[in-house]
Chains A and B, each alone.
Chain A
Amino acid sequence: MEFALISLLNGVTYGLLLFMLSSGLTLIFSMMGILNFAHASFYMLGAYFAYQISTKIGFWPALLIAPVLVGIVGALIERYGIRKAHRYGHVAELLFTFGLAFLAIEVVQLVWGKAAVDYRVPASLSGTWFTLFSSSFPVYKGFMMAVSVGMLLTLYALLTFTRIGLIVQAALSRPDMVQALGHDVPRIFTLVFGGGSALAAIAGVIGGNAFVTEPGMADALGPIVFVVVVVGGLGSLTGAFIASLLIGILQTFMVGTDYSLVDFARSVGIKIHSAPALARLSLTQLAAIMPYVLMVAILIFRPRGLMGARET
């Protein structure tokens, strides 16, 4: 019971973080048809920028400044890079963002070194929020949840209730019509791309110190965010939300469960002396590949994803 509750809370925190990344990715994809390979790189840049700013003027300004900076970087990349690559088609676009992701890691290694940097949770947010039976739940996890939920509600409100949000939504389905009505659609694209990058950067700012800030962090999270988008259905925000929480919770539970097929067989009374390696693997070990197995299963049984509207 205790394990289940704590794992659920941790899983939701992780899932919300995943959604902050996947929402931007899926929004950019459905709007511009660009699969941004470098999306997790913005997450990484957010964490590193926040680290650099927090060593100078503290964590709270960093929470604001780092995403804005990353958003500007993202907008500039869209304006001067992706738009140029767009002329050569989708493959060039995809390869451009792939090259960016590669370059981002190298830049980070060049500037901050190959080892992890000492990006810490601020003193005002460290400590225990509440204790459940004997496990403690840190204040910072609660803060992460609050920031993610707050951001997502803001995003939702922006998209539904503001004028610019309505134009963005319209540009999602009929960009040519929106253009004909006199709106500058390319500028909206730049805005959305910058916004998506900033969202990823916020995830980096609050995730970088909870986990670890190192050059490998983009590569560790990037593929999982892609899986979330495929599982949820390309271009579907609701699907991405469900898939994020699903993968977040499932993975957290699996990491905490040291249970294998052999253990299962023993518990039902079968005596096993030698078992193949596959049966010996515990759920903890399998947690790393769970998202990909889920993706394969979804592709075989429901190719359009949980909430996707179209096949390709």
Chain B
Amino acid sequence: MKPAPVLTASRLLSWGAYLALILVAPLLSRSGYWLSLLSQIAIMTVFALSFNMLLGQTGLLSFGHAVYYGLGAMITMHALIAVNHHVLPIPVTLLPLVGGLGGLFFGVLLGYVTTRRAGTTFAMISLGIGEMVAASSLMFPAFSGGEGGLSSNRVTGKGWLGITYGPQIQVYYLIALWGFACVVAMYALAQTPLGRIANAVRDNPERAEFIGYNPQVVRFLMVVLAGFFAGVAGGLTALNYEIVTSESLHAYTSGLVIMMAFVGGVGYFFGPILGALLITVLQMAVSSLTAAWLFYFGLLFLVVVLYAPGGVASVVVEHRRLWHAGVLGRLAPAYLLAAVPVLLVGAGLVAVVEMVYRLMKEDAASAHLRVFGFTLDASRGLFWIAVAAAIAIGILLLRKVARTVSDERHRAYATLRQERT
């Protein structure tokens, strides 16, 4: 049987659109904020996709993926320092590759230990290894820079054709092009026999073994390659911020990449891209609005795990299918109906969180919160009763509406199946 062609016209078109988007995006606004947001998104896209090579493609849930990212960043920084001291004759453009090779090296070293087991045990071991590397990094201040981190200057000389990487726009294009190359490479890798057998190892390691592949070797190769791409992402971070601290290889960074990949959707290649985009934007937007932004992140993550385990990507794909069948319109009333209790519960929760936060600051004046012209006063019992009532009513309504929505969806799918046959 001949395999389906990888390069179809529609795929080429969407890749072209993606490339055009990342090339044109920085021209939309001249603000520095916009550029730094785009750079961060591009870096996180590579990082999240490299994580998904493990979780989505090989079925390995890693709680220590930041190790490769952070070490890649540190190694790139050392290379940059060496370039600045005229020890190392490498153009800055190629430095992310150094980070990638660093990630690859540590992937070989640590992957040997972590990939001895799969499943839940892999998750635990990757966590332990991550903690070990994070703890050891502070023991070697010469390598990690200690508490203050490592820093250097990415402008190393006159540059070539005026490209010195001084202005942020030049760095953005460096990151975007490296990022695009990595995304293409990871996509291509998923289509190779190795990528396919990784899927087989994810789904049924025993059968993969029966057809002659050692699952442990496949896992190891995938960890090594994922380490490479995470290292490239780390290298890009080093060049972008010109500073690397040991925080970049801590558990928090590992957790963030899990969130990005999972919220975006691990079942589709483009899922983590969506996740990186969404989480980075939320991170920048919500953190400027409220001090409790990490709480909302955790809540969002739990909601996705419980109610949309396929992430945003699978929701998008599912609704696109319904749209093409022309039955999406029928779902709209049910969705609109569901939006009311969802908003009610959401607003209630936000009110509780913000109020608790303000009350605990033990500052009477800050217990007032102004929302849309209303002043909410957390020190009054009436407020708490109202909020509790809103949440309770919302949950009750939600249970009712959830049934309607799921009935409607079943009906829509039934039509979809009928049309096919």
A: residues with CB less than 8 A from B are 29, 33, 35, 81, 84-85, 88, 90-92, 94-96, 98-100, 102-103, 106-107, 110-113, 219, 223, 226-227, 229-230, 234, 277, 281, 285-286, 288-289, 291-293, 295-296, 299-300, 303, 311-312
Contact = CB atoms under 8 A, between A and B. Distances in A.
Contacts of B123: 35, 94
Contact of B356 (A99, A110, A223): A110
From A92, A100, A110, residue with most partner B Cβ within 10 Å: A110
From A99, A110, A292, residue with most partner B Cβ within 10 Å: A99
A312 B123 CA distance: 12
B9 interface: no
A90 B119 contact: yes
B25 interface: no
A226 B292 contact: no
Interface in B131-166: 131-132, 135-136, 139-140, 142
Given A106-B298, A226-B124, A281-B139, 17 more contacts: A95-B61, A95-B301, A99-B302, A103-B298, A103-B299, A110-B295, A110-B357, A219-B251, A227-B128, A277-B140, A286-B139, A292-B131, A293-B132, A295-B128, A296-B129, A299-B113, A299-B117
Contacts of B305: 85, 88, 92, 95-96, 99
Contacts of B132: 289, 292-293, 296
A217 B120 CA distance: 24
18 contacts: A29-B120, A35-B120, A81-B302, A84-B306, A94-B61, A94-B120, A95-B258, A99-B302, A102-B297, A102-B298, A110-B353, A112-B360, A234-B121, A277-B140, A295-B128, A299-B117, A299-B125, A303-B116
Of all A-B residue pairs in the complex, the 7 with the closest CB atoms, nearest first, are A292-B132, A103-B298, A106-B295, A223-B131, A102-B298, A99-B302, A99-B301
Given A98-B255, A285-B139, A90 B120 contact: yes
A226 B127 CA distance: 9
- Chain B binding surface, main DSSP class: helix
B360 A110 contact: yes
- Chain A binding surface, main DSSP class: helix
A296 B136 CA distance: 14
B128 A223 contact: yes
B55 interface: yes
A107 B295 contact: yes
Interface of B: 55, 59, 61, 63, 113, 116-121, 123-125, 127-129, 131-132, 135-136, 139-140, 142, 251, 255, 258, 262, 292, 294-295, 297-299, 301-302, 305-306, 309, 353, 356-357, 360
A174 B299 CA distance: 35
B120 A299 contact: no
A103 B302 contact: yes
From B61, B113, B131, residue with most partner A Cβ within 10 Å: B131
Nearest to B131: A223
Contacts of B121: 230, 234, 312
Contact of B292 (A106, A229, A291): A106
Contact of B116 (A102, A111, A299): A299
Contact of B360 (A91, A113, A292): A113
A29 B124 CA distance: 12
A306 to B, nearest CB: 15
A296 to B, nearest CB: 5
Nearest to B359: A111
Nearest to A91: B61
A114 to B, nearest CB: 10
B282 to A, nearest CB: 15
Contacts of B61: 91, 94-95
Contacts of A277: 139-140, 142
A98 B258 contact: yes
